[in-house]
Amino acid sequence: MYCEKCGNNMGNMNVCSRCGHVVNMGRTASPWRADDSRQAESGSPGYGNPPWEAAGPGQTEDNSMGQSASSWEGSFQAENSGAPYGTQAQGTDTSGWAGDNGAQVQKALSMRWYKFVINFQLFLAAIVNVANAGYYFWGLNYGENAELVYMFYESLQVLDIFMGVVMLALAALCIYARGRLRRFRKNAVSAYLSLIIINMICQIIYTVAVCGIVGYLDDAAAIGLGYNTVANAALLIGNYIYFKKRKHLFNS
């Protein structure tokens, strides 16, 4: 049983615990049917009626609620797709959509290789290039015969010193490229790829120059050059493809 004035559920009591109104046990009160005075004051003939009765004869609560929900859904689709209610925009692909709010879920690109490059690879490359610079400056590739070799091939010593300077420059380029990548700068990827290209070209030029000075090419040197060229080419292509997919990230 409900109170006629405030609509409170009174249970089997005839006195409302909320407003103190005494209900006539001979009448059946409803929270939707208040007294006629409130209806007259509102000026609305449907005041106090349940929504399914106010909507019209023959309609039920479920029907009214269903129509309201479908109307909202239709207006939402029309606003977001640009198509009239009841139709689907041409070319709209909903296969990649998920979630109650209609948000499109896109798989995030993996950044593991990027983190490896900036946290390990470029630091290691800089250290190796500095070590190679000392290797060329002191002619350690010739062992204990460095002075004797330079005595017969003076131009070879000049070439080694030049390569030592190049290795130091490459070490600096490693640190520069690492900083640009870490800050997602626009030229970061170009700097990193240029580092690989310059390193590969320098190795080829050095091997060819040594062959021209000495007059022959050692088999071990030829095999080492081929291996390094293939490895650098694979590294260059792989990084180009990897960072091309993430080009939009480097825009600062």
* C-beta separation of 69 from 205 below 8 A: no
- pLDDT reported for residue 25: 61
| pLDDT, tens only, 130-182 | 999 999 999 998 888 888 999 999 899 999 999 999 999 999 999 999 999 99
* Predicted local confidence at residue 118, as pLDDT: 96
pLDDT in tens, 176-213: 999 999 999 999 999 999 999 999 999 999 999 999 99
**Looking at per-residue confidence, does 188 or 60 come out higher?**
188
Tokens of 112: 């593991």
Helices in the chain by DSSP H: which ranges? 36-42, 51-54, 61-81, 112-116, 122-137, 146-152, 154-182, 188-214, 219-244
pLDDT at 221: 84
Give the separation between CA 208 and CA 30, rounded to whole angstroms.
101
Q: What is the dihedral of CA 134, 140, 144, 150, to 10 degrees?
A: -90
How many Å apart are CA 187 and CA 252, to the nearest integer?
Answer: 9
3-state secondary structure (DSSP) of residue 104: strand
Return the percentage of the chain with pLDDT > 90, whole number.
46
With beta carbons less than 8 A apart as the criterion, state whether 188 and 250 touch. Answer: yes
pTM: predicted TM-score of the whole model, two decimal places = 0.57
pLDDT of residue 82: 42
Query: Average pLDDT over the chain, rounded to whole?
Result: 75
Enumerate long-range contacts of 232-237, CB under 8 Å, 24 or more apart.
Answer: 232/196, 232/199, 232/200, 232/203, 233/200, 235/196, 236/193, 236/196, 236/197, 236/200
Backbone angles phi, psi at 106, to 5 degrees: -115, 130
As a whole number of angstroms, the distance between CA 160 and CA 205 comes to 12
CB neighbourhood size of 28 (10 A):
10
Here the contacts of 59-67 (C-beta below 8 Å, separation 24 or greater) are none
Phi, psi of 116, deg, nearest 5: -65, -40
Cα 193 from Cα 237, distance rounded (Å): 9
Going by pLDDT thresholds of 50, 70 and 90, the confidence category of residue 60 is very low
Number of Cβ within 10 Å of residue 228's Cβ equals 15
- Mean pLDDT computed over 67-80: 47
Cβ neighbours of 51 (radius 10 Å): 13
Q: How far apart are CA 141 and CA 159, in angstroms?
A: 13
Tokens 């290209």 locate to 197
